[in-house]
Amino acid sequence: MSDADAAVLTIGEVARRAGVNASAIRYYERVGVLPEPVRVSGQRRYTPETVRRLSAIDVAKQAGFSLDETRALLGADADGAAHAELRALAERKLPEVEALVARASAMRDWLLTARGCTCDTLDVCGLFDAARPAPLGEPLPLASG
């Protein structure tokens, strides 16, 4: 069976099965994350593999991979070397995620402290003390307004 014979799904069917908009599929084709589909009488026709590939794109997106990183990962998958590319991407991405987690933790700590603020104005509040710009996450004493 040729690729053309297996390509029986319309763009709407693929979109429904993958849970994405048809416009996203066309965009992924334009930027090279999805291969150009077979055309039958001018209409796009896809194989079930396209649905699997869209699922992989969604997982990569949720992991924070860029479209370029996702394209590289999918290219390595086609070459049978997905594990090497995935490991390399994870090594590069983990420091970014760890920094985001640290930033979110610092924001949470600041907000927890701010929740207990009783200052009447910001100029007396230790959370906004311009003379002592502490990084978010460092405990600050609250001034009593």
Whether 45 and 114 map to the same domain: the answer is: no
Helix (H, G, I), strand (E, B) or coil at 73: helix
Where does the pLDDT of residue 78 fall: very low under 50, low under 70, confident under 90, or very high at 90 and above? confident
Q: Report the C-alpha gap between 115 and 97 in whole angstroms.
A: 27
Whether 74 and 106 map to the same domain: the answer is: no
Mean per-residue pLDDT for 71-84? 87
Whether 104 and 39 map to the same domain: the answer is: no
Where does the pLDDT of residue 30 fall: very low under 50, low under 70, confident under 90, or very high at 90 and above? very high
Helix (H, G, I), strand (E, B) or coil at 28: helix
CATH (domain of 75):
1.10.1660.10
Q: Is residue 87 part of a domain?
A: no
Whether 74 and 117 map to the same domain: the answer is: no
Per-residue buried b or exposed e for 35-64, using 16+ beta carbons within 10 Å of the residue's own CB: eebbeeeeebbbbeebbebbeebeebeeee
Q: Is residue 31 part of a domain?
A: yes
State how many domains the chain has.
2
Where does the pLDDT of residue 131 fall: very low under 50, low under 70, confident under 90, or very high at 90 and above? low
Q: What is the residue range of 107's domain? A: 92-145
